[in-house]
Amino acid sequence: MKYLLALLALFAFVACSDDDPRGVDLSRPVRFDPAAPPAQKLSEHNLFAWDPTTGTFTYNDRVVPYELNTELFTDYAWKARAIYVPEGESGAFHPKDAFDFPVGTLILKNFYYPDDFRDPTTYRLVETRLLVHTPNGWQGRPYIWDEDGKDAEYAPAGEVRPISFVYVDGKTKTSTYLVPQQNQCQQCHLLKDPETGKNYQTPIGPKARHLNRDYDFGGEIGVRNQLEVLAEVGFLTGVPSDLSEVEKAFDFREIAEHGHAHLDDEALNKAARDYLDINCAHCHNPNGVQGITSNLFLNYDNTSAFNLGICKPPGSAGQGAGGRKYDIVPGYPDLSILNYRIESTDPAAMMPLIARSLEHEEATALIRSWVESLPIAEDCAPKE
């Protein structure tokens, strides 16, 4: 374990500049007290160095980067994720739920944009979101970066920023980018304990099926399975020795690079269900706030066709229904509320409610094809 962490730290130290303007010194440890008030400057935590000329992040010792198979869409922002677990502590593996990380754990996600997705020459780091495990539970803390990318300030009130970039198709897109308020973190991270009835915040991404993939850690470590590395460095206990036994979500990079037309029916269904799971099911699940009120469960392992939305009237969509009668009308995406809401950019109708102002065109095309592929249901199909 110590050898692997030492390699990660060595790679970080070599890649880091000697004179970081923020005062970040990767030869020194992370600074994080879970019982203390939020740091006013992100650099106070000494988590990573950022190079705006190359768009690369270099992490401190005990800060391990990772990626998800299918990730949450945020107006096409690029994301760099990492996790810190305090010395002498470790999290517990769970085959389906979020891993149980100890108090003192810090999960970070950087949101940034290249100027041109086809051939980036400059990069803009917009925000860093921290999800920290305090003695009182998990808490979200947003940090907004200054224009020159030197440091980020704690921003509990959030902010809206216009961001323009050239996308892979050569067209310019402009995002009305929302850095969420701290209390808005609960809209996605809040669940209700079915036994006690109490609400609690929890991580979304760090689950076995999302992390079960290879990642290039660089240096001597190279390309390794993320779960394997997290187990070896002591961040996770209970990881199965045979990772083929661990579920794996669909790798959305395949669609981002090649589209979805080549997918067979089984792969199409998996890709669509896994996209809805990571982008919608943090709320729309049996223990999620929206799931409880709407009875729409979009978690990947839901087996109820009705709760998936098939021929189900909306619970409380209001004008968000777009005049449509059912959440999903199999074979008819233009009659399905689900398609209307994920394609809409109207704040009164779109889903998710926060974190986007643009349509995720590759994903909405995928969900359209998936709805079209579903067997016609006589209970809600249009009458000839």
Calculate mean pLDDT across residues 136-147: 95
Beta bridge partners of 140: 131
324 within 8 A of 372, measured Cβ to Cβ: no
Determine, yes or no, domain membership for 264.
yes
Calculate mean pLDDT across residues 338-360: 93
Instruction: Give the Cα separation of 327 and 196 in Å (integer).
Output: 30
Query: Which token pair is 172?
Result: 């310019």
Residue 190: its pLDDT value, please? 75
Q: Which segment of 57-66, 161-170, 215-224 scores lowest on mean pLDDT?
A: 215-224
Instruction: Provide the mean pLDDT of the chain.
Output: 91
Residue 182: its pLDDT value, please? 67
Judgement on whether residues 237 and 271 belong to the same structural domain of the protein? no
User: What are the distances in angstroms from CA 101 to CA 134, 190, 356, 363?
Assistant: 11, 17, 28, 31
Q: Which segment of 161-165, 201-205, 326-330 scores lowest on mean pLDDT?
A: 201-205
Calculate mean pLDDT across residues 23-45: 95
Q: Which segment of 41-45, 59-63, 142-146, 217-221 scores lowest on mean pLDDT?
A: 217-221
Instruction: Give the Cα separation of 341 and 40 in Å (integer).
Output: 37
Instruction: Give the Cα separation of 74 and 109 in Å (integer).
Output: 12
Residue 219: its pLDDT value, please? 86
Judgement on whether residues 223 and 265 belong to the same structural domain of the protein? no
Determine, yes or no, domain membership for 318.
yes
Calculate mean pLDDT across residues 184-211: 83
Judgement on whether residues 121 and 170 belong to the same structural domain of the protein? yes
Determine, yes or no, domain membership for 57.
yes
Calculate mean pLDDT across residues 289-308: 92
309 within 8 A of 327, measured Cβ to Cβ: yes
Residue 114 in this model has a pLDDT that exceeds 50? yes
Instruction: Give the Cα separation of 81 and 47 in Å (integer).
Output: 12
Residue 224: its pLDDT value, please? 97
Judgement on whether residues 347 and 226 belong to the same structural domain of the protein? no
Judgement on whether residues 208 and 332 belong to the same structural domain of the protein? no
Residue (of 300, 110, 304) closest to 209 by Cα position:
300
Greater pLDDT, 24 or 154: 154
Query: Which token pair is 89?
Result: 């502590």
Domain finish residue from 245, 280, 297: 245
Q: What percent of the chain lies above the pLDDT cut of 90?
A: 78
Per the structure, the count of domains in the chain is: 2
Judgement on whether residues 231 and 286 belong to the same structural domain of the protein? no
Q: Between the CA atoms of 225, 231, 232 and 235, what dihedral angle is there, to the nearest 10 degrees?
A: 120
Determine, yes or no, domain membership for 380.
no
Cis peptide before 352 (omega within 30 of 0): yes
Domain of 225? 2-245
Crossing angle of helices 265-280 and 361-373, in 10° steps, is 130
**SS3 assignment, position 249:** coil
Name residues whose C-beta falls within 8 Å of residue 106's C-beta, 6 or more positions apart in sequence.
Answer: 30, 32, 45, 47, 83, 84, 130, 131, 132, 133
Determine, yes or no, domain membership for 381.
no
Instruction: Give the Cα separation of 84 and 380 in Å (integer).
Output: 49
Judgement on whether residues 110 and 190 belong to the same structural domain of the protein? yes
Query: Which token pair is 165?
Result: 């970039």
Instruction: Give the Cα separation of 52 and 149 in Å (integer).
Output: 7
Residue 7: its pLDDT value, please? 56
312 within 8 A of 326, measured Cβ to Cβ: yes
DSSP structure class, residue 344: -
Q: How many residues does the chain have?
A: 384
Instruction: Give the Cα separation of 159 and 180 in Å (integer).
Output: 7
Determine, yes or no, domain membership for 25.
yes
Residue 331: its pLDDT value, please? 98
Indicate yes or no: pTM above 0.85.
yes
Determine, yes or no, domain membership for 379.
no
Determine, yes or no, domain membership for 211.
yes
Residue 3: its pLDDT value, please? 52
Domain finish residue from 193, 218, 245: 245
Calculate mean pLDDT across residues 184-191: 69
Judgement on whether residues 44 and 80 belong to the same structural domain of the protein? yes
Judgement on whether residues 159 and 130 belong to the same structural domain of the protein? yes
Calculate mean pLDDT across residues 123-128: 97
Judgement on whether residues 300 and 199 belong to the same structural domain of the protein? no
Q: Given phi > 0 = left and psi -120 to 50 = alpha, else beta, which region is 301?
A: alpha
Instruction: Give the Cα separation of 126 and 149 in Å (integer).
Output: 8
Residue 143: its pLDDT value, please? 97
**Contacts for 213-220: CB closer than 8 Å, 24+ residues apart:** 213/67, 213/69, 213/248, 213/251, 215/65, 215/66, 215/67, 217/8, 217/11, 217/65, 218/11, 218/15, 219/7, 219/8, 219/10, 219/11, 220/7, 220/11
Judgement on whether residues 241 and 297 belong to the same structural domain of the protein? no
Residue 184 in this model has a pLDDT that exceeds 70? no
The confidence band for 21, taking pLDDT boundaries of 50, 70 and 90, is: very low
Instruction: Give the Cα separation of 137 and 156 in Å (integer).
Output: 17
Residue 2: its pLDDT value, please? 55
Over residues 230-289, the pLDDT tens digits come to 999 999 999 999 999 999 999 999 999 999 999 999 999 999 999 999 999 999 999 887
Domain finish residue from 213, 245, 277: 245
The confidence band for 187, taking pLDDT boundaries of 50, 70 and 90, is: low
Judgement on whether residues 15 and 56 belong to the same structural domain of the protein? yes
The confidence band for 19, taking pLDDT boundaries of 50, 70 and 90, is: very low
